[in-house]
């Protein structure tokens, strides 16, 4: 069964952007350090991708839009790269490239791994800086402090960090990545194991959130953002396309209310494009959906109904 289970390649370009290119207090330093500098970098983040969606939400919540520009590829790609097919002329208006692959190759001409989003590109050189998505959003909060808006939420509360790391690890392994383990399982046995693991953790969240508004208590943290980007795609994609079909998110009263609460919070719902999300999964994953037919539903207006969690 081991050979039939989905395994995500977690080897990313490990460079980090820090204040004065200093050694960061948290996390590994396995690559180069780049200095925080307004207007030097461009975040490339496709709306369809949950990992990229996370970076867009954090950038917006922290008020970093004026210091880190945003480029957004379209929802589909081929084996080569994400493309800027929704921009005029099919090119990113700042970097001038048709494919994100070009930024990777300018930095690493023989780059052989996947061309992933989110990615941060240096505007002047057009070269990739990093695509290490867990640390991109971590460093937005910890390193860009001089540019964060005064009323931004504390996404990494010091007093909760130890517990938060545990919660986020389970969310990543069992839910963010868990839906992919279901969708790309190569055998019935691998699929059923992944399915059971996923629903065990979704039930855990249903119970945890019954007694608190957000994952860590009364305020939004990065843990909520990491969970939200999977939940918001659940009924539209993962329930059917990835066979995560014990029940819909909209049939889990606590998680569904929690997800709508976040969706209706400024910085969250406006980053969601359900048509791009559905187009990406149902068109790109031809091994799962060879017809490439994109479903019409569900109705996104359901996300605007009262959640009752205030």
- Strand order, beta sheet including 41-44: 69-71, 41-44, 119-122, 128-130
Question: In angstroms, rounded to a whole number, what is the distance separating the alpha carbons of residues 103 and 122?
Answer: 9
Which are the contacts of 303, defined by CB distance < 8 A and separation ≥ 6? 232, 259, 260, 263, 264, 269, 272
Question: In angstroms, rounded to a whole number, what is the distance separating the alpha carbons of residues 107 and 121?
Answer: 10
Was 82 annotated as part of a binding site?
Answer: yes
Q: Is 180 a catalytic residue?
A: yes
Token reading at 202: 């979704």
List beta partners, residue 5: none
Contacts made by residues 173-177, CB under 8 angstroms, sequence distance 24+: 174/198, 174/200, 174/201, 175/201, 175/202, 175/205, 175/227, 175/230, 176/50, 176/51, 176/226, 176/227, 176/229, 176/230, 177/8
Question: In angstroms, rounded to a whole number, what is the distance separating the alpha carbons of residues 15 and 6?
Answer: 26
Question: In angstroms, rounded to a whole number, what is the distance separating the alpha carbons of residues 287 and 48?
Answer: 18
Pairing of strands 41-44, 69-71: parallel
Q: Is 49 a catalytic residue?
A: yes
For the chain, the first-to-last Cα distance in angstroms comes to 45
Q: What residue numbers does the annotated binding site for glutathione cover? A: 82
List residues with catalytic annotation. Answer: 49, 180
């Amino acid at each position: 069964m081991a050979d039939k289970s989905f395994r995500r390649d977690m080897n990313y370009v490990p460079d980090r952007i820090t204040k004065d290119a200093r050694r960061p207090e948290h996390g590994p330093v396995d690559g180069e350090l780049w200095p925080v500098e307004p207007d030097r970098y461009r975040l490339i983040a496709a709306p369809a991708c949950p990992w990229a969606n996370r970076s867009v939400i954090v950038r917006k919540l922290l008020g970093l839009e004026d210091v880190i520009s945003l480029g957004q590829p379209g929802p589909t790609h081929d084996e080569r790269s994400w493309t800027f097919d929704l921009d005029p002329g099919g090119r990113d208006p700042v970097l001038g490239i048709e494919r994100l692959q070009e930024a990777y190759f300018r930095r690493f001409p023989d780059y052989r791994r996947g061309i992933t989003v989110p990615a941060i590109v240096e505007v002047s050189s057009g070269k990739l800086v990093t695509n290490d998505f867990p640390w991109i959003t971590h460093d937005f909060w910890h390193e860009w402090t001089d540019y964060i808006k005064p009323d931004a939420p504390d996404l990494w509360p010091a007093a909760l960090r130890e517990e938060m790391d545990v919660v986020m690890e389970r969310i990543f392994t069992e839910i963010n990545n868990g839906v992919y383990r279901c969708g790309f399982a190569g055998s019935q046995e691998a699929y059923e194991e992944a399915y059971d693991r996923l629903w065990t953790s979704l039930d855990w969240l249903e119970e945890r959130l019954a007694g608190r508004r957000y994952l860590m208590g009364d305020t939004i943290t990065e843990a909520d953002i990491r969970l939200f980007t999977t939940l918001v795609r659940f009924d539209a994609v993962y329930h059917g396309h990835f066979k995560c079909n014990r029940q819909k998110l909209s049939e889990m009263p606590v998680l569904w209310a929690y997800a709508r609460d976040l969706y209706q919070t400024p910085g969250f719902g406006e980053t969601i494009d359900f048509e791009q999300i559905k187009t990406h999964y149902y068109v790109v994953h031809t091994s799962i959906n060879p017809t490439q037919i994109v479903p019409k539903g569900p109705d996104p207006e359901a996300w605007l109904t009262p959640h009752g969690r205030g």
